[in-house]
Structure 1
Amino acid sequence: MKTSAITKKTKKKIVHKYYRWLEKKARLLQGTKWLLHQYKLKKYLDVCFRGTVQEFYDKVSQYDVISFDIFDTLVTRCVQKPIDIFSLLGLWVEKYYHINKNEFLVARIKVESDENKRLNGNATLDDIYHSLQSYFNISKEKCEKIKNKEVELELKYIIPRTDVVNVLSKLKKEGKTIYLISDMYLPRNVIDNILSQCGIKTDLYDKIYLSSETKKRKDDSTIWIEIAKDNQKRKYIHIGDSFTSDYKNPRDNGLSSILIANSWERYESSLIRYCKGIDRYDKIGDKVIKGLIFNKCLYNSPFVHKHSELDCYAYVFFGPLFLQFCNWLSESTKKDNINHVWFLAREGFYLEPLYNSFCKKKYLKKIITTNYILTSRKAAAIADMHSVDAIKEYLLNGGFVGTLDDLLDSRFGIVEASGSDKVYSLPRDLDKVMIALEPYKNKIYSNSKLQKKLYQEYIISVDPNFKNEKIGVVDIGYSGTAQYYLSNILDKKFIGYYFALSDNVRPEKNKQKCRACFFKSKNYQPDQNPWMLIESVLTAPKGQFGGFFEDGSLIFADSDKTASNKENLERFFAGIKKFIEDIFSLMSAETIVESNFSNGLALDLLKSFYWENVDIPQEVRHVFKVETTFNGGDGICKVFK
């Protein structure tokens, strides 16, 4: 028995050591691959053209004949990698022909590789689909429909690299001879349609070389041998994005060449990738998002190395997050059978129309009625100050530093001249503050009673049927304070929908439900978190809502600070709206569901913008500021110090 026990123990140790050895070897191999990748990337970027579009034009215009690679040089796709088109095709094939999407993706890649080996790299689209027909044992008619769908997707996702196309156009107008060259299985008619769609009409080039037609390729230099022979007496230069096919091979055959970085290589070397490892997200929606933000926006031009446009930053770093939130909100409210949604001020001012626009695109109609409700934690809390305990609870909701007069004004909406310049700090000085407030309690209670009455009248004027509706309230998050007080004021339960929540969710105390799109965490600190970025842009042209005057008219804080940022905020949300429109132009409404997107991608893009600042220019940074007097101070908190 003892020997057996020792043997088992020894075996366990051996197995444990073996797995430790395997892990170490895997890490070493992974590290080696990473170093090799970095070496190749550095080598690639070192020879890439670095300069302005004008400097690029000046350089290539010295030549008589200029040739351009097509894919990832003149045009690019709005997906992470070209094979992602096959993943999108797989979704369609699975739906209509019941072939597993992953099995189709693997088969599509394998068949193309096999056909290229069989035909020395010169497989055509027809060759590939003839083989796929046998692979899946489907009819010729079905196979033809799948092939046509692939072509349709290629055309749908293709966009020009605008600056490069403009250079080509300008060179042609100067009388230069222009060639287009591509190692590509797609047939000529499809390539012609792709080029035409991207603004490259037939009058902008003199000749096009496709490996599917010529049976000669760039990657094995067979096309360069022919071109070099045909252009011996003319100055010739080639432009492309592949180090071997477009840069090295032409030079090996006596031709000049310039390497320009494609969008993905620029991403690979960017701060964004190394901030949060964004390339680990690989759901199909993630791939389309990355295609849009990198290929269409950030790195579309090989000549722009730093952006200063606010709408560009909104598109890249905030568009995916708002898309994810709108998607989550639409699906969550449907599950909860919500028939009416209140978007709470000020966060709801831009969010409500954005959400309604999203729903119209996704469902082709407005599925849930919405209202923009004026509120703030200050205004809602003041209307619920009915006891000493209520006052204490309110004072502990967020810090404060200032005099008693400051406190009365910023927390209770009462303007007094106490004559005291003593500075209090909450929550540390709670007991002292309660003593100092003693002479003002009756005024606080009577004002609260009036505010509650006026608040109820305001809600009835905005949503007369609210008592009979199942209502969801939407806000940025934190503790759900506004929802908590609104429930007390209106004697109604809500379901709260938030970007993010702390673990101290106040509505749960009065038996309400709260849901968070991105996370709910006990370590959540809004003022130390990139959610301040969201709060800084989810605002309204008018200042913070402070409650009601006695005649029922509305009180707003000084709105000059917020109004001055209105033009910037409208540009910002135009960028977000453009991103969502682009997503819907590429993906069908039925595929824009939560399961096709990773929450982590949108969140990590936001975090990379906040924590690493991603080389943000000053004219963009100054837009991000939060206006509030709730905690004392001058009322402006800059997100980027």
Structure 2
Amino acid sequence: MNTISGPEFNRYDAAIKYFEDMPVDALRNAKVISFDFFDTLFTRPLADPEDAFDILGKQLAIDNFRKKRQLAQIEAFRHMSASGKKEINIEGIYAAFADNSRTAEEMANAEYQLELKLVEPNTIIFDLFRSLKDAGKTVVVTSDMYLPARFFEQALEKFGVTGVAVFSSSDENATKRDSGEIFDVIAQKLQVAPGDILHLGDNEISDVIRPREKGVKAYLYRSHYLGTICQGLPLSLSIAQGMLKSHDDYHDLQAFKSLGFAYGGAASLGFLKWIKNQTVLHQIDHVLFLSRDGYVMQKMVERGDVGDFPRSTYFYGSRIALTLATINDQNFVHYIPFLLSGAEGLQPCEILERIGVAAPAPEVMASFGLSAETPLTAGLFSKMANFLYAWRWQILLVCRRNRRGLFMYLQQLGIKSGERIALVDVGWSGTTQEAFVHAVKQFMDIDIHGYYFCLANTAEKNRRKAFLQMHAMYSTENADNSIIDMIYENRVAVELFFSAPHDSIIGYEAFTGKPVGDRGRGLKNDLTHSISDICAGAMLFVKSYNELCKRLSLELTPHELTMSMLSLVSNKKWQDYSAITNISNFDAWGSSRLKSLCAKDYLNS
């Protein structure tokens, strides 16, 4: 049986739509259906196939392997032409490899085995391929590749397919790309006319123009994951975008879950692995992952994504909550600038709302020359400062409540005097760590280390370094100033990937230690759903990445993993993603019911 009735083809509609202008009759009428292998029938979990050379270089411990491998292939083509052949093979490539630290046979076998571990079915096309075979159609694999036919047979066998003829250019000494001669070979060996062959592939020249010149019916495969294919990416980002191919509904890089997968997952995992190394160095007893920065990392720890890890907690704390817990009647005046920070454009009542303090009657505000609803300008700041001082006893009630609540919260977490505590914060100048130190020292003596993704080159950071224990994955102590400045200038984009789907924390209930949140006051609020998607994407990346690393015996360093995030912020690349630039009211502290701020607005201000 080698034909299928029309109605049975309905289940192929999802796959067929990706072949440009192909009618369903083409499948029905063809005696032989030929599938291109790479990027059609199978994929690699890489944005650029040649990124496999970087993985191979790590496995073989050969410096500059990628460049040497590329030059070897060029030399192999030169030898091919000189000998009158039409295709190279993997043995010829490594015979020309300019490095004798490993034998040519050892390197060729290493690449062969790596490719075999890398390849995985392009599900939607592979299902079509297998269904056609099961229905009795003659399906074959045709590939322009320096790998032999046995490689493709083994790849198919891994996924339960046997008995398929493979036409590899390296075995047949005939290619698709040059003249389409390999289609003559197929017709001859299978004893069919060229017009009875249907070929499907992703390269317009090799898979459409050349076969049609031979009389073969051919259609171009327009991949559903084209947006993930890219050259010149850091290896961590190439792996992330490559793995997106295997996850349905994750192919659109403008979607939050895809962005979380591509950027947030690797950055969080790299940072977390760096933290793990630091905890050993500093003999940390308890890691506190600050909300909202550490949400995903604590989830990864709980799932066992980085193996053994010290005792850790997702800590509902923030610069606001901890600073308020520090304020008392003696230091209140010192903290008025903090209470007014980011206040321009906010209503006076919102200044109080964002710290959990009820606004007074309108006539009280009016007595200070203020309207509860009129936005603040720089000219009104002195009046607002006078009001805050006059209203300090109401504010101090909230501060006292926070202080008591923080004590209860730390007691519930089992934190004891004498312990070494790591406070994890994405960045940037140590404000929250200083607030934590000042708040906690009132009732507990603990050794506090601050762990940061990046410490900025700011005067405040330099001041705090004199009396706080601050350690950063990226700082001027271990990276160029230009890198630190680049990260800091694009910090809003970075913070988006180190966030959590809950309100900002502004304090604690006095007797339960339960955190108190602030939803913000923007005209729009789409944050929770968006952040949930980013977090889900990040968690899926780490699960997929760990499975891939086990399969490949690969491990990227913490800094290699975070290169995906550095790629996003370089040259403000994040601005290419409207999902990021248009997200509103990212910062509850600076939000107002009078306006809706997007991520790009924070950096333009």
TM-score range, shorter chain: 0.7 to 0.9
Q: Is the 8 A contact 1:343 1:349 kept in 2?
A: yes
Aligned match of 1:20: none
Cα deviation, 1:575-595, whole Å, max 9, x if unaligned, reads 212222333333468731145
1:165 matched to 2:165: no
Secondary structure (helix, strand or coil) at the match of 2:177 reads coil
Secondary structure (helix, strand or coil) at the match of 1:633 reads coil
Aligned match of 2:452: 498
Equivalent of 2:175 in 206, 217, 226: 217
Aligned match of 1:481: 431
Equivalent of 1:599 in 560, 563, 578: 563
Aligned match of 1:319: 265
Cα deviation, residue 194, structure 1: 1.0
**Compared with structure 1, are the counterparts of its residues 586 and 607 closer, same or farther at alpha carbon in structure 2 (3 Å cutoff)?**
farther
Cα deviation, 1:143-183, whole Å, max 9, x if unaligned, reads 65544433321122112222222232343355432221123
Q: Which amino acid aligns with 1:318?
A: G
The worse-fitting range, judged by mean Cα deviation, of 83-92 and 422-431 is: 422-431
Q: Is the 8 A contact 1:626 1:636 kept in 2?
A: no
**Compared with structure 1, are the counterparts of its residues 160 and 600 closer, same or farther at alpha carbon in structure 2 (3 Å cutoff)?**
closer
Aligned match of 1:79: 46
Aligned match of 1:530: 493
Give the alignment's TM-score, normalised by structure 1: 0.72
Cα deviation, 1:87-126, whole Å, max 9, x if unaligned, reads 32232222xxx78846863675367446644471455445
* Counterpart Cα distance in 2 of 1:86 and 1:598: 20
1:245 matched to 2:206: yes
* Counterpart Cα distance in 2 of 1:426 and 1:350: 38
Cα deviation, residue 456, structure 1: 2.7
Aligned match of 1:259: 220
Aligned match of 1:63: 29
Structure 1, unmatched stretches of 5+, are 1-48, 274-278
Cα deviation, residue 484, structure 1: 2.0
Give the alignment's TM-score, normalised by structure 2: 0.76
**Compared with structure 1, are the counterparts of its residues 348 and 149 closer, same or farther at alpha carbon in structure 2 (3 Å cutoff)?**
same
Secondary structure (helix, strand or coil) at the match of 1:425 reads coil
* Counterpart Cα distance in 1 of 2:487 and 2:142: 55
Aligned match of 2:57: 90
Aligned match of 2:480: none
Q: Which amino acid aligns with 1:512?
A: L
Q: Is the 8 A contact 2:199 2:211 kept in 1?
A: yes
* Counterpart Cα distance in 2 of 1:78 and 1:630: 41
* Counterpart Cα distance in 1 of 2:41 and 2:284: 48
**Compared with structure 1, are the counterparts of its residues 607 and 261 closer, same or farther at alpha carbon in structure 2 (3 Å cutoff)?**
farther
Q: Is the 8 A contact 1:317 1:602 kept in 2?
A: no
1:577 matched to 2:577: no
Q: Which amino acid aligns with 1:224?
A: F
* Counterpart Cα distance in 1 of 2:573 and 2:387: 44
* Counterpart Cα distance in 2 of 1:626 and 1:174: 54
Aligned match of 1:352: 298
Equivalent of 1:340 in 286, 291, 311: 286
1:611 matched to 2:575: yes
Q: Which amino acid aligns with 1:469?
A: E
Q: Is the 8 A contact 1:318 1:602 kept in 2?
A: no
1:471 matched to 2:421: yes
* Counterpart Cα distance in 2 of 1:478 and 1:226: 64
Alignment of 1:491-570 (within 5 A): 491=441, 494-500=448-454, 503-504=457-458, 506=460, 509-510=463-464, 511-517=467-473, 520-521=484-485, 524=488, 529-531=492-494, 533-534=496-497, 538-541=499-502, 543-557=503-517, 569-570=531-532
Aligned match of 2:385: 434
Cα deviation, residue 531, structure 1: 3.7
* Counterpart Cα distance in 2 of 1:352 and 1:635: 33
* Counterpart Cα distance in 1 of 2:63 and 2:59: 9
* Counterpart Cα distance in 2 of 1:291 and 1:170: 29
Cα deviation, residue 432, structure 1: 0.9
Q: Is the 8 A contact 1:497 1:514 kept in 2?
A: yes
Secondary structure (helix, strand or coil) at the match of 1:201 reads coil
Cα deviation, residue 327, structure 1: 4.0
Q: What's the % identity of the aligned pairs?
A: 19
Cα deviation, 1:555-596, whole Å, max 9, x if unaligned, reads 523679999976765554232122223333334687311454
* Counterpart Cα distance in 2 of 1:128 and 1:523: 41
Cα deviation, residue 402, structure 1: 4.7
* Counterpart Cα distance in 2 of 1:631 and 1:383: 22
Aligned match of 1:136: 100
Alignment of 1:17-32 (within 5 A): none
Secondary structure (helix, strand or coil) at the match of 2:511 reads coil
Equivalent of 1:373 in 309, 315, 319: 315
**Compared with structure 1, are the counterparts of its residues 483 and 192 closer, same or farther at alpha carbon in structure 2 (3 Å cutoff)?**
same
Q: Which amino acid aligns with 1:395?
A: L
Cα deviation, 1:309-348, whole Å, max 9, x if unaligned, reads 6533422243333344334434455555545321112333
Q: Which amino acid aligns with 2:237?
A: I
Q: Is the 8 A contact 2:549 2:555 kept in 1?
A: yes
**Compared with structure 1, are the counterparts of its residues 483 and 324 closer, same or farther at alpha carbon in structure 2 (3 Å cutoff)?**
same
Secondary structure (helix, strand or coil) at the match of 1:239 reads strand
Q: Which amino acid aligns with 2:275?
A: L
Q: Is the 8 A contact 2:184 2:214 kept in 1?
A: yes
Alignment of 1:113-128 (within 5 A): 113=77, 116-117=80-81, 118=83, 120-125=85-90
Cα deviation, residue 67, structure 1: 1.0
Q: Is the 8 A contact 1:626 1:639 kept in 2?
A: yes
Root-mean-square deviation (CA, aligned residues, Å) is: 4.4
Cα deviation, 1:395-436, whole Å, max 9, x if unaligned, reads 243225455444334236355435333436266533212222
Cα deviation, residue 250, structure 1: 1.5
Aligned match of 1:46: none
The worse-fitting range, judged by mean Cα deviation, of 219-228 and 431-440 is: 219-228
**Compared with structure 1, are the counterparts of its residues 119 and 578 closer, same or farther at alpha carbon in structure 2 (3 Å cutoff)?**
farther
Q: Is the 8 A contact 2:202 2:222 kept in 1?
A: yes
1:460 matched to 2:433: no
* Counterpart Cα distance in 1 of 2:320 and 2:280: 31
* Counterpart Cα distance in 2 of 1:584 and 1:106: 28
Aligned match of 1:191: 152
Aligned match of 1:227: 186
* Counterpart Cα distance in 1 of 2:37 and 2:486: 52
* Counterpart Cα distance in 1 of 2:264 and 2:570: 6
* Counterpart Cα distance in 1 of 2:379 and 2:276: 42
Q: Is the 8 A contact 1:399 1:631 kept in 2?
A: no
1:290 matched to 2:238: yes
Aligned match of 2:6: none
**Compared with structure 1, are the counterparts of its residues 55 and 249 closer, same or farther at alpha carbon in structure 2 (3 Å cutoff)?**
closer
Q: Which amino acid aligns with 2:238?
A: K
Aligned match of 1:15: none
Aligned match of 2:354: 410
Q: Is the 8 A contact 2:527 2:583 kept in 1?
A: yes
Cα deviation, residue 486, structure 1: 1.0
* Counterpart Cα distance in 1 of 2:517 and 2:405: 18
* Counterpart Cα distance in 2 of 1:186 and 1:623: 47
**Compared with structure 1, are the counterparts of its residues 239 and 170 closer, same or farther at alpha carbon in structure 2 (3 Å cutoff)?**
same
* Counterpart Cα distance in 1 of 2:345 and 2:101: 75
**Compared with structure 1, are the counterparts of its residues 266 and 343 closer, same or farther at alpha carbon in structure 2 (3 Å cutoff)?**
closer
Count of residues in Structure 1 that have an aligned counterpart in Structure 2: 555
* Counterpart Cα distance in 2 of 1:304 and 1:348: 24
